[in-house]
């Protein structure tokens, strides 16, 4: 046995709720410059809590920026791929920051909170360049609130009921992927019916003091604290790409099969448009494939993917044991001719070839209420 020791250098950024995590028994780890909770009770237990009941993530490490003013929608549109005019008031949408080559600098979530008031959430590892990008696009008026607010994600089939008990019925009235502002203890909170786990749920942005109070209130409402460990297995089961693993500045939206986050039809100019327009006309030679192992073994990022002649055709960008499916699942870029559903391949796991199959995404899809009775 050899287990790596974890270090928490003092230069790591501290979550405002760090003490809550430590009190809840968190095992902390460095992630994107932050000291983050990896797990509390255990990754699988927390994963199952989110899939079957409700779990709560502190995602305050993510970048958060307000963009306000009559030009806000256009300013965001100039640096991102999705047409902001298609996001109605109270709507949200996934989008991308691309470079001039069409490569993905970050994937982001855009909230149309109010008239001329927009909120953008960035990955923690890209938070500083992303905030600078929005500052440049807005003549410095964009307001980075990442370090002065807390963001909690409550996720799972019982999440909305728990949020409703604590914050009132506003969440019940929100449709999936919409947002609103609510008054709570004299403070305005941003509340949305969004998340990154493949489950129903809510995300809430607020001051650290309110974040601490709500953390306790959600625990009292039966919500399980959940760490980054299960956040990764949950998002992989939902086939959601992770920037830095599955998408990066040398990959494009079409290769990553998230072309639905790119709007070309409106004719708007945005960074990377020319490259994306020419790529959209010709299917990419390599694209992200979703693989399920057909035998025991755990696929990990970097493992080799091989065809029937044992030729390496790609490497995994994400891979894990799926607690829900009880099997190994993975993603990786492969030549297009190997990405048809049902294609048999092999993944090299420590010298052994484990058979795998290209499967439809997502690996896991939650039951919709209208399907449960069918």
Partner 1 sequence: MEFPEELRYTPKDEWVRQQDGEADIGITDYAQDELSDIVFVDLPEPGASFAKGDAFGVIESVKAVSDLYMPVGGEVLARNERLAEEPELVNESPYGDGWLIRVRLADPTELDDLLNAADYQAQLSSD
Residues in contact with partner 1 by the rule CB under 8 A:
1-5, 38-39, 42-44, 229, 233, 296-298, 300, 320-321, 323, 350
* DSSP 8-state secondary structure symbol assigned to residue 243: B
Residue (of 46, 64, 57) closest to 17 by Cα position = 57
Of 196, 298, 177, 183, give the one whose Cα is nearest residue 237.
Answer: 196
In which element (H, E) is residue 220 found?
A: helix 208-220
Grouping H, G, I as helix, E, B as strand and the rest as coil, residue 232 is helix
- Closer of 79 and 330 to partner 1 (Cβ): 330
Q: Are 111 and 118 in contact (CB under 8 A)?
A: yes
As given in the structure block, the two tokens for residue 332 are: 């990786």
What contacts 24+ positions apart, CB below 8 Å, involve 259-265? 261/81, 261/82, 261/93, 261/94, 261/95, 261/96, 261/107, 262/81, 262/82, 262/96, 263/81, 263/82, 263/83, 263/86, 265/83
Residues in the chain: 374
Nearer Cβ to partner 1, position 99 or 304?
A: 304
């Amino acid at each position: 046995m050899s287990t790596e020791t974890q270090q928490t250098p003092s230069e790591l950024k501290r979550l405002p709720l760090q003490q809550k995590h430590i009190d809840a028994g968190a095992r902390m780890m460095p992630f994107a410059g932050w000291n983050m909770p990896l797990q509390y009770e255990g990754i699988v237990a927390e994963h199952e809590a989110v899939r079957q009941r409700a779990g709560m993530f502190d995602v305050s490490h993510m970048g958060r920026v307000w963009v306000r003013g009559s030009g806000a929608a256009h300013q965001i549109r100039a640096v991102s791929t999705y047409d902001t005019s298609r996001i109605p008031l109270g709507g949200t949408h996934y989008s991308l920051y691309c470079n001039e080559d069409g490569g993905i600098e970050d994937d982001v979530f855009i909230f149309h909170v109010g008239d001329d008031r927009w909120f953008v959430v960035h990955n923690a590892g890209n938070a500083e360049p992303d905030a600078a990008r929005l500052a440049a696009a807005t003549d410095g008026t964009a307001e980075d609130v990442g370090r002065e607010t807390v963001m909690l994600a409550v996720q799972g089939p019982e999440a909305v009921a728990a949020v409703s008990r604590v914050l009132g019925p506003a969440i019940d009235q929100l449709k999936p992927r919409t947002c609103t502002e609510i008054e709570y203890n004299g403070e305005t909170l941003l509340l949305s019916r969004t998340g990154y786990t493949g489950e129903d749920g809510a995300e809430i942005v607020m001051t650290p003091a309110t974040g601490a109070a709500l953390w306790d209130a959600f625990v009292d409402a039966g919500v399980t604290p959940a760490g980054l460990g299960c956040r990764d297995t949950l998002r992989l089961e939902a086939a959601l790409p992770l920037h830095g693993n599955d998408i990066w500045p040398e990959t494009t939206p079409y290769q990553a099969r998230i072309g639905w986050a790119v709007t070309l039809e409106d004719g708007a100019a945005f960074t990377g448009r020319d490259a994306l327009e020419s790529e959209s006309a010709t299917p990419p030679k390599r694209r992200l494939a979703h693989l399920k192992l057909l035998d025991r073994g755990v696929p990990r990022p970097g493992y080799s993917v091989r065809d029937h002649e044992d030729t390496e055709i790609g490497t995994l960008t994400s891979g894990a044991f799926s607690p829900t499916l009880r099997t190994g699942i993975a993603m990786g870029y492969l030549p297009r001719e190997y990405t048809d559903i049902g294609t048999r391949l092999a993944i090299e796991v420590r010298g052994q070839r484990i058979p795998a199959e290209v499967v439809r995404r997502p690996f896991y899809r939650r039951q919709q209420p209208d399907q449960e009775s069918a």
